[in-house]
Amino acid sequence: MALLEVKNLGVRYEPRLHKPVQAVDDVSFEIAEGEFVGLIGESGSGKSTLANALLRLVERPGRISGGSIVFDGNDLATMTQDELRPYRWRDISTVFQSSMNALNPVVRVVDQFRDAIELHSDLRGDAVVDRVRQLFGMVMIEEKFLTAYPHELSGGMKQRINLALALVNKPRFVLLDEPTTGLDVVVQRSILEAVRTLQAEQKFAVLFISHDMGTVLDLSDRILVMYAGRIVEEHDSADLMRNPLHPYSKGLLGSYGDPRAQTVRITYVPGRPPDLTREHAGCLFAPRCPERIDRCLSVEPELLAVDGARVACHVAQLQAEPEDGVEVPARSAKFAGPEFVKSDDESKEALSQHAFLTLSDVSKTYRTRNGFTFSDFTAVDDVAFELRRGAVTALVGQSGSGKSTLAKLITGVEKPTAGTIMFHTREGRAIDVVGLRPGQLRDYRSKVQMVFQDPYSSLNPTKTLGYILSRPLRNFLGLSGEALKQRVEELLEKVALTPASRYRNRYAYELSGGQRQRVVIARALASNPELIVADEPISSLDVSIRAEILELLHDLVQESDVGILYITHDLLSARMLADEIIVLSQGRVVEQGRALTVIRDPSDDYTRKLLDAIPNPFDKLDRPA
């Protein structure tokens, strides 16, 4: 018998003022003692709701609407909170996503372990502290932090401590809910290593929930893929990489490319997840599915066994057991949808273009006052590089490496403490960015535009898209009337929000994350800029639609003579989009070169560390081309 058996579990949200949502629907799976199972799902797939249901932490207006959660023979779903308490943290523990807030801010770390220990064991006094010491050793945190308060620890340390806290009573099952999201790649790597080692030693069962297929595939024995509140595929992880069955799984896998290849290809899933408040017929993925057949639109597929795995897809099921008279496409491991391609030859060509923005010996020092003493912090240290028209340059570094400060210097928001920044316009005029007076900045900003990280907060929610796009057109170009309207529609069409007339009067909240980011890009294009500074434009988007935005940016560079400065912490996406990569560490440029060269043959240790930290499930396999 499995340790955890989930059968037909459903979770329903019934808010008073909105339509009810079946966030988790008919989910069944098992986890055996000591097994490491991964659960992949994108935002809105119901994975966090499922996690809350397993821990019985669903709060009103949500409730478990059906099914059972049998742990070691007892159904957790129907227990009262009092009956449940003995299981909590002794048998079942968890690590939450946000390491920042999972620890009580006014209680010393050791005391947060103490209540978890004293509630569930006979250890008291010094024995408790000894146990915590032992756990600190396991996650490699120095003992002096025993008496620290949470705010005195870094994000990575907090998450290690959360991990140690989860293991405090030697649980049999640990639920990891996005345990590394929001942490730096290098820190993320070290946390995952700790999880892997500890799990191998202590043999607790794990359900590892994440939106990032790379990290999940890397650690798990078996994978559950969740879409729109349902499990659409359950598959052994090594086999999933070779032979994914559900088109959505293929789409997710396709969003990882091999950065070392001469030509990188990544696929993306067009469209957006379904609105679960609406009635539906047939497969929920069908509207986005390139392989769909007629049956998909009318009959909802069940999760059935196919080739040693389980999949909820008519096509995959028919491929395994053909039916007369029903034609299905041939089986393929590749997602049959749109693809974004970037070749090294393009980069070579792009790098032969003329430079139009030159930074020489640029430094930026911030001074902070603490009482009567001052301390200087050098955010950017003696940086020099050039940006070219028609080329994408990626600025790569961890948080605190100075990449956002450089963006501020280039856009003229802040002035460097030393060095020069020269911008050469299309008309051949040279602008000294450092010497610009406030009045002249306006003209400069029409040439240099920003795309921000979070498309959810960078669009005014009370204005229509037409209004949002008309502002820069009025301000910078002085357009009005019919000409303005026409230009707005052109911009919407340029970012593939077609037909434009349908989008002009809509609001940002009606759009998906990918569509919103398109609007943000359209807004940046409105003033007809020469340089676009894109600060992590895809990191808050779901994996399956990231390539869509990359492709849009790529097309812009190819079609017009703009240059893009792409700021990111992610070397993989830098390789996808950029022709040249500049690696920053502690405000200094540590490596600079053609994208493929930097990836294939990094010369700096720091670059190598960043490269190693990229979760790459395909390293273990020879990936089918």
Partner 1 sequence: MRYFLRRIGFFLATLWAAVTLNFIIPRLQPGDPAEIMFKKLQGRDAELDPAKIEALRAMLGDPAGKNLWEQYWNYLGSLSRGELGLSYTYFPYDVATVIGVALPWTLVLVGTTLLISFVVGTLLGAFAAWRRNTRFDSIVTLGSTFIGTLPAFWLALLILFAFGYVLGWFPTAGGYDASTPGWNAEFIGDAIYHSILPASVLLITGPIGWILGMRNTMIMNLGEDYVRLARAKGVPDTQIALRYAARNALLPSITGLALALGSMLGGQILIEQVFDYPGLGRLTAQAIDNKDYPLLQALLLFTIVGVLLANLIADMLYGILDPRARKAQS
CB of 477 to partner 1, least distance (A): 45
Using the minimum distance from each CB to partner 1, give the nearer residue, 88 or 518.
88
Q: In terms of Cα–Cα distance, which of 385, 396, 354, 310 is closest to 575?
A: 396
| Measured distance CA(522)–CA(539) in Å, rounded | 18
> Number of C-alpha atoms within 13 angstroms, CB side, residue 317?
17
Q: Please report how close the Cβ of residue 179 comes to partner 1 at its closest, in angstroms.
A: 12
Read off the tokens for 10: 């459903």
**β-strand partners of 432:** 422
β-strand 74-75 against 62-71: which pairing, if any? antiparallel
User: Rounded to whole angstroms, what are the CA distances from 324 to 292, 328, 357?
Assistant: 17, 11, 64
Q: Which residues pair with 95 in a beta bridge?
A: 176
Chain centroid to Cα 339, Å, comes to 19
125: burial class by Cβ within 10 Å (0-12, 13-18, 19+)?
exposed
Question: How far is Cα 341 from Cα 265, in angstroms, rounded to an integer?
Answer: 5
Q: Which is nearer to partner 1, 121 or 527 (CB)?
A: 121
For partner 1, which is the closer residue by CB, 92 or 194?
92
The pair phi, psi for residue 451, each rounded to 5°, is -120, 125
Q: How far is the CB of 405 from partner 1 (least distance, A)?
A: 23
Nearer to partner 1, 6 or 116 (CB): 116
Nearer to partner 1, 120 or 569 (CB): 120
Tokens of 550: 């990359």
* Cβ pair 9, 77 in contact under 8 A: yes
For residue 106, the minimal CB distance to partner 1 (Å) is 6
**Angle, vertex CA 276, rays to CA 272 and CA 279, nearest 5:** 115
Residue 52 CB, nearest approach to partner 1 (Å): 8
Choice between 122 and 324, CB closer to partner 1: 122
Q: Which is nearer to partner 1, 149 or 452 (CB)?
A: 149
> Collapsing DSSP states into helix, strand and coil, what is residue 251?
helix
Place of tokens 């807004």: 523
Smaller CB distance to partner 1: residue 159 or 398?
159
83 vs 561, which CB is nearer to partner 1? 83
Q: Which residues contact partner 1 by CB under 8 A? A: 55, 57, 60, 81, 84-90, 92-94, 96, 98, 101-107, 115-116, 119-120, 149, 151-152
Nearer to partner 1, 161 or 226 (CB): 161
Q: How far is the CB of 377 from partner 1 (least distance, A)?
A: 18
Tokens of 522: 């359209």
- Closest separation between CB of residue 102 and partner 1, Å? 4
Q: What are phi and psi of 505, to 5 degrees?
A: -100, 15
Which amino acid, one-letter code, is at 528?
N
- Nearest Cα residue to 455 out of 380, 531, 552, 390: 552
DSSP letter for 463, please.
Answer: S
Q: Give whichever of 16 and 278 is closer to partner 1, judged by the CB atom.
A: 16
CB of 513 to partner 1, least distance (A): 23
- Which amino acid does the sequence have at 292? R
Taking a C-beta distance cutoff of 8 angstroms, is the pair 507, 465 a contact?
Answer: yes
Q: Smallest gap, in angstroms, from Cβ of residue 273 to partner 1?
A: 25
Name the token pair of 193.
């290593």
Closest distance to partner 1 from the beta carbon of 149 (Å): 4
Q: Is residue 389 within 8 Å of residue 354, measured between CB atoms?
A: yes
CA–CA gap between residue 537 and residue 568 (Å, rounded): 8
Q: Shortest approach of partner 1 to residue 522 CB, angstroms?
A: 36
Comparison of 152 and 510: residue with beta carbon closer to partner 1? 152
Q: How far is the CB of 114 from partner 1 (least distance, A)?
A: 11
The conformation of residue 354, written as its DSSP 8-state character, comes to P
- By beta-carbon proximity to partner 1, the closer residue of 81 and 462 is 81
Closer CB to partner 1, residue 94 or residue 585?
A: 94
DSSP state of 302: P
Min. distance of Cβ 171 from partner 1 in angstroms?
11
Q: Looking at beta carbons, which pairs linking 349-353 to residues 24 or more positions away fall under 8 Å? A: 350/388, 350/390, 350/391, 350/392, 350/557, 350/579, 350/580, 351/388, 351/391, 351/579, 351/580, 351/594, 353/388, 353/389, 353/390, 353/391
Which of 151/442 has CB closer to partner 1? Answer: 151
Q: Would you call the peptide bond into 61 cis, given omega within 30 degrees of 0 as the criterion? A: yes
Strand order in the sheet with 373-388: 373-388, 355-370, 418-424, 430-432
Beta-ladder partners of 394: 566, 581
CB of 397 to partner 1, least distance (A): 28
Q: How many CB atoms lie within 10 A of CB 7?
A: 16
In the complex, the smallest distance separating the C-beta of residue 161 from partner 1, rounded to whole angstroms, is 12
- Strand pairing partners for 40? 210, 225
